[in-house]
Amino acid sequence: MTLAEKILSRKAGKKSVEPGEYLLLDVDVALANDITAPIAIENFKKYGGKKVFSPEKLVLVPDHFVPNKDIKSAMQVKLLRDFAKEQEIKNFFEVGRMGIEHVILPDLGIVKSGDLVVGADSHTCTYGALGAFATGVGSTDIAGVMLIGKIWLKVPESIKIELHGSFNEFVTAKDLILKIISILGVDGATYKSIEFLGSGVENITMDGRFTISNMAIEAGGKTGLFPVDERTVEYEKERNITVEKMYPDEDAKYFKSLNIDLKTLEPQVAYPFLPSNCKNISEAEKDRIKVDQVVIGSCTNGRIEDLRLAAEIFKNHRVNPDVRCIIIPGSQEVYKQALNEGLINIFMEAECAVSTPTCGPCLGGHMGILAKDEIAVSTTNRNFVGRMGHPDSKVFLASPAVAAASAIKGFIADPRKL
Amino acid sequence: MKIEGKCFVFGDNVNTDEIIPARYLNTSDPFELAKYCMEDIRPGFGKREDIKGSIIVAGENFGCGSSREHAPIAIKAAGISCVIAKSFARIFFRNAINIALPIVELKEVEEFDEGDVVEVDFENGIIKNKTKNKTYTVHSYPELLREILKFGGWLEYCLKKSGGDTE
Ligand code: SF4
């Protein structure tokens, strides 16, 4: 069995499951945010819901428009807050204690290896890094979990990505996943589970794995799974969770497989308007693309390692006078750690703006909207038309290293040459 | 479960903006939404009387685009009894089952013309084009999905399973 089949068969209490099979399963964790929870709550009430099935499984994270950007978002967050109080949902995260959903859930040990996680957010697949079957669903599905704690799912086929070797300096997990998306295409993994396997996995840190699983959806993937190995077991142990290692079976059937040697990778830049539109940085640098804004953060690259990498590059440098550089730690914890390690100081000295945790500009919400014709280099995950502001603005996706180097140079730049 | 109806044929990649344009999303009333179903690719479609009980036939990737649940809701409320397409976008598929809009994947959709009378037998996985006198087999609906459709949607199903007791 593949990793996906293993987790799902365990959840279904069956010896094995086949791709294409439909299952009715108990959910371990269900997640909704300030955009999607209000509709779920409304549906739950409309269908006569009084007490949610199991409040300990529900997680409500206001992260998209917080601290409340306007009256409408304030009302939405208030709805979540009131519902959490009324239903005694412990896992509601208030400003000052919060973070982006996909950064805090694994970090706080709310999701763990082997779990079945559904979220009314497409990047729920992030938790695949822990070896959890995690996938994005609709608000109605979350209402269903509120009512009976269950979800229906189709067992997906799987794609194997076999990794070897390790990254060269300034090449990151982000570059790997961008490369994979450019090979598979934005719908190359639709309905499928992408599984990252091979000896190269050992060389990828947990933060790196979150970045990779996070973007499985950008290739259309239902989830993006890593095996549970030494590193995962260690990560969970630090959170007082005991888990067993888990690998796919030798004879697991994969729909397709791909081999990648990490050593051969260069930093990548995804050109507008698709995450699959990638170029190697050495090529991209030649295009001399002038940058107006740089964003370092999001559920893709807002973790401590991302900030460390950016700080390493910003040390003894300044943001180009024509660039605005916005840094957004993914959670209060990440922020505190960055402070303690002196990273925030480096950013401030380099004249970056450092924000409290929020999704903010990633979806064109607030805290850095682009004007007409402006260009951003961003460590986020989508560069669709108008994603970060004006429909005539452009977003180039890259790693924190490329983003930081570009902020210093003022054009899309190679961090290895700084 | 069996249905029969006249076909309306659409192309590949019909997206959720075409199924229900964003400018009509200021309501969630299904019957308001239904009036503008397919408005931008076939103006006036949603207001026609003869679409009641009919079947939409489309190409690949039907329902791509945003995850809005309004799209299958608009189709269902317009009286369409089933959508047959070469393939569906994942979230549309989920949303359609959740609101009990029957949908079926069929490779040979090119063989269907506007106005053909078609019968769909979900239990046995058989589609009959009565006009062309051709029969196709498709995956029969798994029991779980059949039950969801029978109860009228996922939340209705949840309600039944909880014995109507959601305390
Ligand atoms: S950071 Fe961006 S992609 Fe991630 S959850 Fe927030 S809006 Fe979505």
pLDDT band at B24 (very low <50, low <70, confident <90, very high): confident
| Confidence check: pLDDT of B71 > 60 | yes
3-state secondary structure of B90: helix
More confident: B57 or A384: B57
Mean pLDDT of A143-164: 97
Note the pLDDT of residue B76.
96
Model confidence at B88, in pLDDT bands (50, 70, 90)? very high
Give the DSSP letter string of B24-36.
Answer: GTT---HHHHHHT
Residue B139 pLDDT class (50, 70, 90 cuts): confident
Best to test chain B binding among A8, A36, A86, A140 (most B CBs inside 10 Å): A140
pLDDT digits (tens, 9 = 90+) for A251-279: 999 999 999 999 999 999 999 999 999 99
- The two tokens of residue A345 are 């100081």
Give me the pLDDT at residue B165, please: 53
Strands B82-85 and A324-327, sheet pairing: unpaired
Residue of B nearest to A50 (CA): B167
pLDDT for the residue A260: 98
CA distance A125 to chain B (A): 14
Question: According to the CATH classification, is domain A3-262 in 3.30.499.10?
Answer: yes
For residue B119, the domain's CATH number is: 3.20.19.10
How would you write A109-121 as a 3-class SS string?
A: CCCCCCCEEEECC
- Kindly state whether residue B167 falls inside one of the protein's structural domains: no
B89 and A189 Cβ atoms separated by less than 8 Å: no
Interchain pair B90, A150: CB under 8 A: no
The best mutation among A34, A60, A63 to test binding of ligand 1, ranked by most ligand atoms within 8 Å of the C-beta, falls on A63
Please indicate whether residue B1 or residue A64 has the higher confidence score (pLDDT).
Answer: A64
Asked if residue B88 belongs to a domain, the reply is yes
CB contact burial A109-126 (16+ within 10 A = b; e otherwise): ebbbbbbbbbbbbebbbb
Chain B residue with minimal CA distance to A121?
B67
* Residue A47: C-alpha distances to residues A59, A120, A398, B71 (Å): 20, 18, 44, 21
Give the pLDDT band of residue B164 (cuts 50, 70, 90): low
Domain assignment of residue B152, yes or no: yes
**Burial of B125 from C-beta contacts in 10 A (0-12 / 13-18 / 19+):** middle
pLDDT range class, residue B21, cuts 50, 70, 90 = confident
* B83 falls within a domain: yes
Summarize pLDDT for A291-312 with one digit per residue, the tens. Answer: 999 999 999 999 999 999 999 9
Q: What is the pLDDT of residue A292?
A: 98
Q: How far apart are CA A63 and CA A51, in angstroms?
A: 24
| Interval A353-366 mean pLDDT | 96
Mean pLDDT of the residues in chain B? 91
User: Half-sphere exposure of residue A347, counting CA atoms within 13 Å on the CB side?
Assistant: 28
Which residue of A123, A326, A356, A379 sits with most ligand 1 atoms within 8 Å of its CB, as the best mutation to test the pocket? Answer: A123
The mean pLDDT value of chain A amounts to 97
Nearest Cα residue in chain B from A149: B158
With CB atoms and an 8 Å threshold, state whether A141 touches B98.
yes
In this predicted structure, what is the pLDDT of residue B91?
83
How many domains would you assign to chain B?
1
Return the residue whose CA atom lies nearest to atom 5 of ligand 1. A299
DSSP string, A52-65: -S-GGGEEEE--SS
Å between A176 CA and nearest CA of chain B: 25
Distance CA A252, CA A172 (A): 28
Q: Return the pLDDT at B167.
A: 44
What is the distance between the alpha carbons of residues A361 and A382, in angstroms, rounded to a whole number? 11
What atom in ligand 1 is closest to the CA of residue A300?
Answer: 4
- Distance, CA of B35 to CA of B48 (rounded, Å): 9
A99-117 tens-digit pLDDT:
999 999 999 999 999 999 9
Residues of B whose CB is below 8 A from A150: 158, 161
pLDDT at A225: 98
| Beta pairing class for A58-61 and A133-136 | unpaired
Q: Region B58-72: what's the mean pLDDT? A: 87
Question: A-B interface: how many C-beta pairs under 8 angstroms?
Answer: 67
- Count the neighbouring beta carbons within 10 Å of the beta carbon of residue A72: 10
Structure tokens at A3: 């990793």
Strand A133-136 versus strand A116-119 pairing type: parallel
The amino acid that residue A396 corresponds to is F
- The ipTM (two decimal places) reads 0.88
Chain B residues closer than 8 Å to A48 by CB: 159, 164, 166
Q: How far is CA B26 from the centre of its chain?
A: 22
Superfamily of domain A268-417 in the CATH hierarchy? Aconitase, domain 3 (3.30.499.10)
Average pLDDT in the B131-158 region?
93
Which atom, in ligand 1's list, is nearest to the CA of A298?
Answer: 1
Q: So where are chain A's domains?
A: 3-262, 268-417
SS3 A387: coil
Q: Percent of chain A having pLDDT more than 70?
A: 100
**Domain that includes residue B60, residue range:** 2-162
Q: How confident is the model at residue B22 (pLDDT cuts 50, 70, 90)?
A: confident
The Cα B27–Cα B23 span in angstroms is: 10
B136 within some domain: yes
Q: Is A96's pLDDT higher than 50?
A: yes
pLDDT computed for residue B163 by the predictor: 67
Which residues does chain A have within 8 Å of residue B94's beta carbon, measured at their own beta carbons? 137-138, 141
Nearest CA to ligand 1 atom 6: A359
Residue B66 has a pLDDT of: 74
Ligand 1 neighbours (beta carbon < 6 A)? A 64, 100-102, 121, 123, 298-299, 359, 362-363, 380-381
